[in-house]
Amino acid sequence: MSDIIQLLPDHVANQIAAGEVVQRPASVVKELLENAIDAKAGYIKLIIKEAGKTLIQVIDDGVGMSVTDARLSFERHATSKIKTAEDLFELNTKGFRGEALASIAAIAHVDLKTKQEQDEVGTEIKIEGSKVLSQEACVNPKGTSISVKNLFYNIPARRNFLKSNAVELRHIIDEFHRVTMAHPGIRFDMYHNGSEVFNLPVSNDRQRIVNIFGGKTNEKLVPIKEETDLVTIHGFVGKPEYAKRSRGEQFFFVNNRFIKSAYLNHAVTAAFEGLLKDKAHPSYFIYLEVDPKSIDINIHPTKTEIKFEDEHALYAMLRSTIKHSLGQFNVAPVLDFNRDASMDTPYEYKSKIAQAPTIEVDRNFNPFKEEKQRTTATSNTQKNYSAFKKEAPGSWENLYTGLESEVSSNDVKQTSFSTVEFESEEQTGSLFETDDKKDLEHHTTYQLRKKYIVTTIKSGMVIINQNRAHQRIVYEELLKSITMASAVSQQLLFPLVLSFSKTEITLLETVKEQLENTGFIFGKLDLGEIEITAIPSVVTEKEVATLLEQLLSDLENEVPDSGFSQTDLLAKSMSKSIAVRSGVELVPEQQRYMANSLFACTEPTITPDNKPTFITLTVDEIDKKF
């Protein structure tokens, strides 16, 4: 039998490696920005077209590369970051595997221009699908400019799996945030389709965060700092009252490299225990500096996960540091069991002279006299109790004496309520299978655990999930309002001003028209904040901030292309925010209204997210339980 194992060609191996390194345009942005930082750049410019599908260009003023280095940089496992295996455990640079540029060049058209400071001319290399088309001298300023065009041009299946431009741009901006926050000493600019998205000057950590997320962020931050032999912790956490329902503003940096760690995230959440609302997530920007020998960063292809040598000690230090800072800045209450608060002397009383209290005595006070009067009154009440009880009906009837004569004198024709006729009655769906409307009044509902509504039908009983049922009801109402533009607004006495980041406001502008159809009226949508002058009638003023945060979270994760899908997503997101929660007590009228409104919907059985809204138990199923 002939041999069947063979070595893969280089271009095939590069495409396989590209599957690990390059998942979407944001992966290319991350690799190129990190290479520019490793090249000791002081200014980095990122240019994007069509969310990176057409062009990703990174220009820096770093050290540049020689002619030989420029050519070798596209070979597999060629890198300037490491020389021996021991260097893997003392890494202070970003990229180090030597596969990034080779992988990118295998699936795109790459144009590299680079020049070192001492050289007179630079080098330009053009590569398409791992094939070097040309290498020649060029005029270029000090540094490197690399352009990646037509990503996944030779792998159409991968290109078809890319999301819409809005989603891919959001991923690129996320990577841009992670890199720029770790390096405030470098100036960054970002452009998309010719318009400026970010202009971040050289600054400190706090100012860089404010420049990215807006000026209002400054008042939300609480600084944290701790230095130990194991780790140095510094950064900021958000105040509890500004916690959001999404996890957007949560960043960990280890040795200036962004990481994801559910374990450390739990430490932060534990520090905020008792300070956050239900389902709210704190924002944090935490920088950790540890010995490179105590971590392993080569356990994940994208290097976003790190293995720590002593995770338990790090967890405890991080948790205690945050709790200390929250208490130090009067964000959280501090308990000092060694101090008696009742013994504290206010500052203004320190110089005052103590005065003896004056006591006044009523010399005519006789307690026995009062007790005697009370006893006499009690005995008289008991004697007259039966007489009082008999006279009560007579006095009650006296309240209505003269009513009949007064009505007849005004010639007012008395009408029995049984003869009142209504012009029209609103047609609503009914849960109950009966033709007699009087039977509806006899059907009772019961709220179980403030979560379920229980009621009866002919075949047995129905158990309705109140949150899911209300989601379906509100969803269909909103969908109708958006499509027909017939929503009712309630004007606010004072405009509501909310602060959002630049990217969030850009995202809200894409659905502004649909939001206005639901009942929102916007005063202004400027950089950093939005002004709302009217809101939908089904929304309270307190719910607006939560509703928009939930909407932004949903839009960031799955922005659809077509207008109808975007309308559908908007209605889904708003219905989740508006719907009555589990744990809310409903009066019987509300319970009946919800049951009838649910079964008047076009699709009452499921929520907008395809979850069941109710279950039925037939009499036979109940009988089997006994």
What domains are there in the chain, each with its CATH number? 10-200 (3.30.565.10), 209-328 (3.30.230.10), 445-615 (3.30.1370.100)
Structure confidence by residue, pLDDT tens digits, 130-177: 889 999 999 989 999 999 999 988 888 888 888 888 788 888 999 999
DSSP 151: T
pLDDT of residue 112: 94
Say how far apart CA 177 and CA 148 lie, in whole Å. Answer: 20
pLDDT of residue 353: 74
Structure confidence by residue, pLDDT tens digits, 390-449: 444 555 555 555 555 555 545 544 444 445 555 554 555 554 444 434 444 455 788 888
What average pLDDT does this structure show over 22-31? 90
Q: Are 38 and 93 in contact (CB under 8 A)?
A: yes
Q: Cα–chain-centroid distance for residue 107?
A: 34
Structure confidence by residue, pLDDT tens digits, 409-423: 455 444 444 455 555
**572: confidence class by pLDDT, cuts 50, 70, 90:** confident
Q: In what order do the strands lie in the sheet with 284-289?
A: 221-227, 232-238, 284-289, 250-254, 257-259
Above pLDDT 70, what percent of the chain? 75
Say how far apart CA 541 and CA 532 lie, in whole Å. Answer: 10
Structure confidence by residue, pLDDT tens digits, 368-388: 776 555 555 555 555 444 444
pLDDT of residue 286: 95
DSSP 351: T
- Retrieve residue 72's tokens: 């070798």
**344: confidence class by pLDDT, cuts 50, 70, 90:** low
Say how far apart CA 245 and CA 446 lie, in whole Å. Answer: 31
**Which of these ranges, 80-94, 311-325, 480-494, 537-551, has the smallest mean pLDDT?**
80-94
Structure confidence by residue, pLDDT tens digits, 259-274: 888 889 999 999 998 8
What average pLDDT does this structure show over 558-567? 57
Q: Which of 48-52, 453-457, 507-511 has the highest mean pLDDT?
A: 48-52
Neighbouring C-beta atoms of residue 539, cutoff 10 Å: 20
pLDDT of residue 388: 45
Residue keyed to tokens 């607006």: 544
pLDDT of residue 280: 83
pTM of structure: 0.67
Strand, helix or coil for residue 290 = coil
